[in-house]
Amino acid sequence: MKIALVGNQNSGKTTLFNLLTGTNQKIGNWPGVTIERKIGKIKDLGDDLVDLPGIYSLSPYTIEEEVSRKFVLEEKPDMIINIVDSTSIERSLYLTTQLMELNTKVIIVLNMADRLEAKGIHIDKKKLAREIGTDVVIISALKGTGINELKDLINKNRGKKVINQEIFQSDIENQILQIESLYGVNRFVAVKILENDKMYQNYQTGQVKNSRQRLEEIYKMDIEEIIANARYDYIVNIKNRVITIKVVKESTSDKLDKIFLNKFVAFPMFIAIMFLVYYLSVGVVGSNAVDWISDIIDNFGQMVENILVSMGASDWSVSLVVDGIIAGCGAVLGFVPQLIILFLCISILETTGYMSRVTFLLDKLFKKFGLSGETLVPFIVGLRM
Ligand SMILES: Nc1nc2c(ncn2[C@@H]2O[C@H](COP(=O)(O)OP(=O)(O)O)[C@@H](O)[C@H]2O)c(=O)[nH]1
Ligand SMILES: [Mg+2]
């Protein structure tokens, strides 16, 4: 069997992949892109396992999403192992709802089991399996627990028929079912056709357009929003029924999150911190360093000039060396100290985790311009120039 390993970034895909395949791996790149592609054979079972790029949805917005989407749609794996960080299930299940529409057997692997207790999280695995309509196993890829149970599930699900879950409201379901039977496509593609996805433009008949218009009128929203909302409603509903969280002592990281991600505090604080970074690098260090270095360069230039003149060099060659080379390099060198301080500040913000928090915060804002929150760093660097 060909099995695909699909999940968010940092959900533990590579850790599980290594655990299941051992040294039996082939590493290369996906065709046309520099994203690592790993294939291996699962020990004891002999099935092929493919490690897909980390993604949050099957939309084709990023290269990773495109590669994964293409693989699951075109190469049609026999089974999908959907690995989920069990400490943040809500964020991960969006992808799960899409994977479960592919007519391919999906096994949900809740990873990071070793961290659940400390966070006071209890997941009712059986209930989740029942609600979501597929098998669920809780593992720790790091500690190696639950792996035999996972292998048993793979065996148990060999060649099993897939039963689609109807997760949308009935009026949306009806339209999806119609498109499915009209074109003989799977649910995922039917939803994409309904969503007017770029990849499926030749399916946009009058009937499809009418269906979409009708739904948009009823829900007073754009079709993509209707579908996304329906998925989230479904997820929240399931989450509330299968997860219980005991109040545990708030970790320092949670407390910091509360401050840094607070609606009212976050932006002013962000601006203040960025101002401080700017002030330190460009203001304090910057202006002093430029003066200080230009003094040194001036003195050095003067010294070279004296030597050259005493050696009887011509005016133009003195000017070339002193005003051209030395002054030119000096002008660039003047910026080096402030760049060092700037990058020092940014790396401090990065190692303390502030950057990732802010990135998360800014993601929404940046998305409006078609950028991701990660664009922040070049923004700051660009600002100071
Ligand atoms: N505590 C804990 N950490 C894990 C577990 N599985 C993976 N990790 C860690 O999570 C991080 C991301 O794992 P990785 O396999 O690289 O994730 P990928 O991005 O999905 O390939 C690494 O630091 C792993 O050591 C687990 O079961 N428990
Ligand atoms: Mg990985």
**In 10 A of CB 251, how many CB atoms?**
11
Distance CA 197, CA 304 (A): 68
Of 191, 106, 150, the residue nearest 16 (C-alpha): 150
Distance CA 159, CA 104 (A): 10
What is the atom index within ligand 1 of the atom nearest the CA of 15? 15
Query: Is the torsion defined by CA of 286, 292, 293, 298 positive or negative?
Result: positive
**pLDDT exceeds 90 at position 345:** no
* Mutation pick for ligand 1 pocket among 5, 9, 10 (CB with most ligand atoms within 8 Å): 10
Distance CA 275, CA 383 (A): 11
**pLDDT exceeds 50 at position 384:** no
Q: Which ligand lies nearest to the CA atom of residue 115 in the structure?
A: 1
Atom 26 (ligand 1) nearest CA: 112
Distance linking the first and last C-alpha atoms of the chain: 55
> Ligand 1 centroid vs 99 CA: distance in angstroms?
21
**pLDDT exceeds 50 at position 159:** yes
Segment 85-123, tens digit of pLDDT: 999 898 899 999 999 999 999 999 999 999 998 888 999
CA distance to 20, 75, 109, 145, 228, per residue, from 72 (Å): 20, 6, 18, 28, 20
Distance CA 105, CA 94 (A): 17
Segment 21-78, tens digit of pLDDT: 987 788 888 887 778 889 999 999 999 999 999 998 888 778 888 899 999 999 999 9
Average pLDDT over residues 241-266: 77
Q: What is the pLDDT of residue 258?
A: 76
> Ligand 2 centroid vs 182 CA: distance in angstroms?
39
Atom 14 (ligand 1) nearest CA: 12
Q: What is the pLDDT of residue 217?
A: 95
Distance CA 365, CA 373 (A): 8
Confidence of residue 268 (pLDDT cuts 50, 70, 90): confident
Distance CA 134, CA 82 (A): 11
Instruction: Tell me the two tokens of residue 216.
Output: 């948009």
Instruction: Tell me the two tokens of residue 73.
Output: 């749609």
The alpha carbon of 55 is separated from its chain's Cα centroid by a whole number of angstroms, namely: 6
Q: Which ligand lies nearest to the CA atom of residue 140 in the structure?
A: 1
What mean pLDDT value characterizes the chain?
87
Instruction: Tell me the two tokens of residue 91.
Output: 């964020």
DSSP code string of 37-98: EEEEEPTTT--EEEEPPP-S-S-TTSHHHHHHHHIIIII--SEEEEEEEGGGHHHHHHHHHH
Question: Of 369 and 208, which is predicted with more confidence?
Answer: 208
> Ligand 2 centroid vs 17 CA: distance in angstroms?
9
Segment 184-242, tens digit of pLDDT: 999 999 999 999 988 899 999 999 999 999 999 999 999 999 999 999 999 999 999 99
What is the atom index within ligand 1 of the atom nearest the CA of 7? 20
Q: What is the pLDDT of residue 372?
A: 61
List, as ranges, residues with CB under 5 A of the ion ligand 2. Answer: 13-14
Q: Which ligand lies nearest to the CA atom of residue 36 in the structure?
A: 2
Question: Of 280 and 183, which is predicted with more confidence?
Answer: 183
Indicate yes or no: pTM above 0.75: no
Residues 6+ apart with CB under 8 A from 264: none
> What are the beta bridge partners of residue 79?
3, 105
**pLDDT exceeds 70 at position 349:** yes
Distance CA 12, CA 6 (A): 10
Distance CA 127, CA 123 (A): 9
Q: Ligand 1: which residues within 6 Å by Cβ?
A: 7, 9-15, 54, 111-112, 114-115, 140-142
No. of H helices and E strands in the chain?
17, 9
**pLDDT exceeds 60 at position 150:** yes
